[in-house]
Amino acid sequence: MIYKKNIVLIVDAYSIGSLIAPAFISRGYECVHVRSTAEVNGFYQAWLRTGDFIHDLLYRSDAELQQALSEYNVQFVLAGCEFGVEMAAHLAALFNVERHNNPAHAVRWRDKYQMHEALSQAGVRSIKHFKSDSLPSILEWVKEHNMLPVVLKPVKSAGSDNIHICTQVSEIEHAFEVIKSSRNIFLESNETILVQQYLDNSDFKSELLLSKSKDVDIEYCVNTVSVDGLHYVSEIIRVYRTRIGASPVHDYNQLMCPVDNADVYNRLSSYIFCVLDALGIRHGVGHSELMIVDDQPVLLETAARMPGGIDLSAYTRALGHNQLSLWIDSLVNPQAFLDYRQRPRKKLYFHSSCVFLIARQAGPIKRTPDITAWKAIPGVHSIKIQDEGVLKPTISLENSPGHVFILDSNRANIQNSIELLREHEPSVYREMLI
């Protein structure tokens, strides 16, 4: 029997959060899992690794949890995924961990309306926004602001869940009914609907080599780690999204080089640090998504968690670190993290792209995917592909059948590999369904 008094609480260790406990275990810590809810989407439930925890507890009340952990000292509390963010903030304050964010600010990290309200009040560039449970109210707001196209989405969700780009009133009416009658990917009811101005996005003028198609959206992801309000960008990723119907679907991304893309790093860091301050994220990780409009960054959303479903080893190989490793460092040895934060940026060891798989076929999966041809594509680092259940046509990040990471010392070579992958992709799905 081994007893260690100091423990780590991980709230909802699903998706990328399933890797947090192993990272702490490698540092000698014991971890306890806290479920914020008993009802979890099957997609997330499959990620949970209960063997990594000395206890797996369902939160029912503060008193019950405090009693269950009365023999321990809770040293750190971390959110594993989006729907654990507010509970993690609450528990960090409850157990009075040394460094924790104000839990009163946590609603800003999940409710996208409150998020942009906070930015507006702080004087930080933000999107025009409105929310309501009434379709007439939404239509009146759109008319009053003469704002078409617009984007309708759940107030709380993640990825590209139920995002609708609407160019006319009939599309707004349809999107409202679809969102209102469904639950988000965390199985929460969509009581109110968020409507935002559509951003006519492009790229920084310094980065835009060719005119951008109207059917392509360019988005940047900025991942951060913070200690005492001092922020550090772990990586910046440029994401290309294509349109399938009215839905924006992830196509592929590019990891930005801190040296070769220094202007992007400097401009996005400056803006995102203001965003984090406005949202009250002084400690821990942030995952921010934004677009460039008129050569200026504008936030889509910031989450107080890591991005989901990525291969951390690709970023470790390309950058020499990843967001999780920096997050753990910032907690167990804050000064070492702050020292690392001051070091000069280095060039990428490898360029990296994640290709998001897009299925246009549908049906029960009858065969294990044959990815032999993909394995032979130059630069392929890792492949994640759905191999059971029902293959669905891709209309969002959540029902993409997987992704492929490609690394190479030359970015042009990666583009060639992406083209090869897309060329083989339809036949892979076709053979899975036979």
pLDDT at 95: 98
Name which of 63-67, 73-77, 122-126, 161-165 the model is least confident about: 161-165
pLDDT exceeds 80 at position 308 = yes
DSSP designation for 345: P
Place of tokens 């903030």: 89
146 Rama sector, left if φ>0, alpha if ψ -120 to 50, beta otherwise: left
Domains of the chain and any CATH numbers: 6-100 (3.40.50.20), 128-198 (3.30.1490.20), 351-433 (3.90.1170.60)
With cut-offs at 50, 70 and 90, classify the pLDDT of residue 213: low
- pLDDT of 160 reads 65
158 pLDDT tier (thresholds 50, 70, 90):
low
* pLDDT value, residue 53: 98
Q: Say how far apart CA 48 and CA 421 lie, in whole Å.
A: 30
What is the C-alpha separation between 20 and 241, in angstroms, rounded? 29
131, amino acid identity: K
> E-strand spans in 203-270?
216-227, 230-244, 247-255
Measured distance CA(405)–CA(354) in Å, rounded: 4
The answer to whether 319 and 348 have CB atoms below 8 angstroms apart is yes
pLDDT band at 210 (very low <50, low <70, confident <90, very high): low
Please report which confidence band the pLDDT of residue 247 belongs to, taking 50, 70 and 90 as the band edges. confident
Which of 7-21, 139-153, 322-336, 345-359 is the least confident region?
Answer: 139-153
Q: What is the mean pLDDT of residues 21-46?
A: 92
103: left (phi over 0), alpha (psi -120 to 50) or beta: alpha
pLDDT tens string 264-305 = 999 999 999 999 999 999 999 999 999 999 999 999 999 999
Confidence of residue 416 (pLDDT cuts 50, 70, 90): very high
Count of C-beta atoms within a 10 Å radius of residue 339: 11
Helices (H) and strands (E) in the chain, counts: 14, 18
Please, what is the end-to-end C-alpha distance for the chain in angstroms? 52
